[in-house]
Amino acid sequence: MEKYLDFSKDIDFKKLEKVAGSLVEGKIVVFPTETVYGMGVNALNEEAVKHLYKVKQRSLEKPISVLVSNMKMVKKIAKDITDIEYKIMENFFPGPLTIILNKNDIVPNIVTANQTTIGIRMPKGEIARKLVEYANVPIATPSANISGKPSGTELKSILEEFKNDVDCFIDGGVSKLGVSSTIVKVIDGIPQILRQGSITKEQIKSIL
């Protein structure tokens, strides 16, 4: 597998499929999403997730959200999904929204920092979406930066920081939105914004 792939103009889907295979095996890949660049591993591979925490210098007490490619994958890793949660996903997936749902046991506890819930997002960006689809596993994906530093929106600075620790870098140009996803959690039937991104509370309320 090549270490650096430039998909900023054209996506080579055969090469992307190879990268997806390496993700399944436990490798770390940096790739673009429509929000910011992400650093992903197979969310169902506990050792890979441990390594991701180490490379990112992230506290094990901070959970990592996962990317999915379809609703079948959502149902594989989450349970007891309410009508309101389904409604939010129907309207904002794929897109820059992460929803907190009850976790299924298939997800290692390290991903959720031993919490019973998990953050799930279906990315809209073609590279990220296809990568998860080809891998056919949820991808644990924090932003591609050392914890505490600004999220990366283009590959140059990320390459410099992680060149010795990441197995593959995918360049997709500058991130379209440049802002992390909105995080929403439904509490007692009411959607609560835990982190404001490009999707607002008003937009979520309007679909309910």
Please write the tens of the pLDDT for every residue from 38-69: 999 999 999 999 999 999 999 999 999 999 99
Amino acid residing at 186: V
Does the predicted TM-score (pTM) go above 0.85?
yes
**CATH number of residue 190's parent domain:** 3.90.870.10
Per-residue pLDDT, 103: 98
Distances, alpha carbon 150 to alpha carbons 16, 164, 206, in Å? 27, 20, 31
Amino acid residing at 197: G
Please write the tens of the pLDDT for every residue from 128-167: 999 999 999 999 999 999 998 888 888 988 998 998 999 9
**178, pLDDT greater than 80:** no
Domain carrying residue 111: 4-207
The residue ranking higher by pLDDT, 177 or 167, is 167
**1, pLDDT greater than 80:** no
- Of the candidates 116, 159, 138, the residue with the CA atom closest to the CA atom of residue 40: 138
Please write the tens of the pLDDT for every residue from 63-97: 999 999 999 999 999 999 999 999 999 999 999 99
- What domain count does the chain have? 1
Distance CA 74, CA 161 (A): 32
Answer yes or no: are the C-beta atoms of 36 and 153 closer than 8 Å. yes
Give the DSSP H or E segment for 143: none
Per-residue pLDDT, 204: 94
Distance CA 21, CA 36 (A): 23
Per-residue pLDDT, 176: 78
Amino acid residing at 34: E
* Beta carbons within 10 angstroms of residue 84's beta carbon: 15
Q: Is the peptide bond before 94 cis (omega within 30 degrees of 0)?
A: yes
Q: Left, alpha or beta for 126 (phi > 0: left; psi -120 to 50: alpha)?
A: alpha
**Average predicted confidence (pLDDT) for the chain:** 95
Per-residue pLDDT, 74: 98
Answer yes or no: are the C-beta atoms of 44 and 107 closer than 8 Å. yes
* Beta carbons within 10 angstroms of residue 159's beta carbon: 17
